[in-house]
């Protein structure tokens, strides 16, 4: 059977996973009466809840006796490591662009990677039935983007379709025949080359993704580059340096059929398969016949730009809600994560109870924390910090800069420009983007953007759209002002009392409600002033024998400010931690004892 291998790439929320759903339905992967969930490829709980793709996933459909292997890729820049690896498995890409928003920063990031590999894209202007769609303008913007990314003549001569993935149609013009996705299937068969199959050579494949299965153990997925492989044959795994790390007999070979992985007896060059039975082989290793000596070349992965410290939870409430609380458990879990997720690195710190985890951004690290939390872990999480590099020639400090693209209503553009200027962002472009909106593009240091998203939504009253992607390492931009307000710190252990909280409300918004467990050093609210304030949230009403009118009125408290994991990570300062347990997210000072805290502050100020 003929083969085609393609990846679907796009900016977040431009409709990749929804389009894959329709491609599978229209190719007959599901029975007519079969109940199929929306975004069937987003199989993880967090993916379903947030409506985002985190892990790249493979599927396959059959069309006119040709098997099309499709890889659905993440759209967020934080998960770009997934996209970089996946592109080496395919022979063509379908670039999806929103008919109203046009090319966005992540579109530029993934398209640049695809063009460098020599892949010829098919452009699909998706959501062409939106009332604010501007399909032909977006097509021209794609051409401009390709030109800016140094595309060759062949790549610039890209075919375009206009489509609605949600409604399941594609056409050569925006007003064309809106029946089904047949034009897209036919274009893939015509435009994407069949993989080069060197069947006579020894077997070799590059491991591109790694996952763990409770029944099969470690499963490595990749594309067979050369030769043929049969179940129960011997193979070896080599690192990029050519070092042999293990030899094994493969007991299980799986191929993708729709959303399922089905066992097959053999795999040929060009096919995308999953292999079980190896215990040490990792992502970017070469799996090959024993006689091969030279490993396959793996795609380089962009370095991490942000780091957090994951430590054992040492608060007075430690161990009450989670089952996995030791440093050994945390270490094993983080190392297992780093095995399959090449975009993060885990390193040990001077303190045996804490580990530094470096990744691409707050979202990526937040997803790891949320996953561990659901698995029963208790953690203490530090404020994110950017990874500073040093220029080897001048010794100058270099920090990561991001390209920030913002679409806002014209009335809010002034306050957004002002906020990003405070964060050392430099505006590179400002133009109308249709519908009364303005598109602003900035280059800003990544550390200035930590925690900005929530503030941005407040400034634009929830109407703004912000997209960020790593741009370059540049000269250190200098000091950036942090949080303007201090915090209210509990000075006692126990449960918060309504009477005390009512008296504290005038000091600033609270994060806790009556009967919430609190402890000394825990942050229970935000101080209205710029300094920290220690407070007693357990102060009870003094009982007397005197009664007076209005003395016993019911206490009416303002509901506490809800704190999500992302809010908490963005909110804390360098001397604070987020305590994460399966049931709670608490803010606390690094040093709980006020005397130790004051000594630490004095030591920092003397430096």
Note whether 512 and 560 are within 8 A (CB): yes
CB count within 10 Å of CB 568 equals: 22
Using only C-alpha atoms, the chain has a radius of gyration, in whole angstroms, of: 27
* Structure letter (DSSP) for residue 114: H
Please return the burial class of 118, using the count of CB atoms within 10 Å of its CB with bins 0-12, 13-18 and 19+: exposed
**Binding residue per annotation — 443?**
no
Q: How many CA atoms lie within 13 A of 281 on its CB side?
A: 35
Question: Burial of 530 by CB count in 10 Å (0-12 exposed, 13-18 middle, 19+ buried)?
Answer: exposed
- Cα–chain center distance at 508: 33
Tokens of 63: 């069309």
64 is in an annotated binding site: no
Query: Residues 6 or more apart from 396 whose CB is under 8 A from it?
Result: 390, 475, 476
Helix (H) or strand (E) holding 465: strand 465-475
d(CA 537, CA 586): 15
> Per the annotation, does 286 bind a ligand?
no
- 18 marked as part of a ligand binding site: yes
| Tokens at 412, concatenated | 């809010």
Q: How far is CA 524 from the centre of its chain?
A: 29
Phi-psi region of 88 (alpha: psi -120 to 50; beta: other; left: phi over 0): alpha
228 is in an annotated binding site: no
Are 202 and 287 a contacting pair, CB within 8 Å? no
Helices (H), 181-319: 182-191
- Please indicate if the annotation marks 16 as binding a ligand: yes
Binding-site entries for GTP: 13-18
Binding-site entries: 13-18
């Amino acid at each position: 059977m003929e083969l085609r291998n393609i990846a679907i790439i796009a900016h977040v929320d431009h409709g990749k996973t929804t389009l894959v759903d329709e491609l599978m339905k229209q190719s007959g992967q599901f029975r007519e009466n079969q109940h199929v969930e929306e975004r069937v490829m987003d199989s993880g709980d967090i993916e379903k809840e947030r409506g985002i793709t985190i892990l790249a996933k493979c599927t396959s459909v059959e069309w006119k006796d040709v098997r099309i292997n499709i890889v659905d890729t993440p759209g967020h820049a934080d998960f770009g490591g997934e996209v970089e690896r996946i592109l080496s498995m395919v022979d063509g890409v379908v670039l999806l662009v929103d008919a109203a928003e046009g090319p966005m920063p992540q579109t530029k990031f993934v398209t640049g990677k695809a063009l460098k590999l020599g892949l010829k894209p098919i452009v699909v202007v998706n959501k062409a039935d939106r009332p604010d769609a501007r399909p032909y303008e977006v097509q021209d913007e794609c051409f401009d983007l390709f030109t800016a990314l140094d595309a060759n003549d062949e790549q610039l001569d890209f075919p375009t379709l206009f489509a609605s993935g949600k409604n399941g149609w594609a056409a050569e013009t925006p007003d064309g025949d809106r029946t089904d996705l047949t034009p897209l299937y036919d274009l893939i068969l015509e435009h994407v080359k069949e993989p080069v199959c060197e069947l006579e050579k020894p077997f070799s494949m590059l491991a591109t993704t790694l996952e763990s299965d409770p029944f099969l153990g470690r499963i490595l997925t990749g594309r067979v580059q050369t030769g043929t492989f049969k179940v129960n044959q011997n193979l070896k795994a080599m690192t990029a340096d050519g070092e042999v790390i293990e030899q094994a007999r493969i007991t299980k070979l799986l191929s993708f059929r729709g959303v399922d992985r089905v066992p097959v007896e053999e795999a040929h060059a060009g096919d995308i398969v999953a292999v079980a039975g190896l215990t040490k082989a990792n992502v970017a290793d070469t799996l090959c016949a024993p006689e091969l000596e030279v490993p396959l070349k793996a795609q380089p992965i962009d370095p991490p730009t942000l780091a957090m410290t994951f430590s054992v939870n040492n608060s007075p409430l430690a161990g009450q809600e989670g089952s996995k609380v030791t440093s050994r458990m945390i270490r094993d879990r983080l190392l297992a994560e780093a095995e399959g997720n090449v975009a993060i690195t885990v390193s040990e710190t001077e303190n045996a109870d804490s580990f530094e985890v470096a990744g691409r951004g707050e979202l990526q690290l937040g997803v790891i924390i949320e996953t561990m939390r659901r698995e029963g872990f208790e953690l203490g999480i530090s404020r994110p910090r950017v990874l500073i590099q040093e220029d080897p020639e001048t010794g100058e400090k270099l920090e990561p800069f991001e390209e920030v693209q913002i679409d806002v209503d014209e009335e809010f553009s002034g306050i957004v420009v002002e906020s990003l200027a405070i964060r050392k962002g430099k505006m590179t472009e400002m133009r109308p983007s249709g519908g009364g909106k303005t598109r602003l593009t900035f280059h800003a240091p990544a550390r200035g953007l930590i925690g900005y998203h929530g503030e941005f939504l407040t400034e634009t009253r929830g109407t703004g759209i912000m997209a960020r992607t790593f741009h370059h390492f540049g000269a250190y931009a200098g000091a950036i002002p942090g949080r303007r307000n201090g915090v209210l710190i509990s000075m006692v252990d126990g449960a918060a009392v309504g009477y005390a909280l009512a008296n504290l409300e005038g000091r600033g918004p609270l994060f806790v409600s009556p009967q919430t467990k609190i402890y000394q050093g825990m942050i229970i609210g935000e101080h209205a002033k710029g300094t920290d304030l220690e407070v007693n949230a357990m102060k009870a009403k003094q009982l007397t024998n005197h009664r007076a009118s209005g003395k016993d009125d019911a206490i009416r408290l303002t509901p506490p400010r809800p704190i999500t994991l992302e809010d908490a990570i963005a909110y804390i300062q360098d001397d604070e931690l987020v305590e994460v347990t399966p049931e709670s997210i608490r803010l606390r000072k690094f040093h709980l004892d006020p005397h130790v805290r004051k000594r630490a502050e004095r030591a920092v100020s003397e430096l």
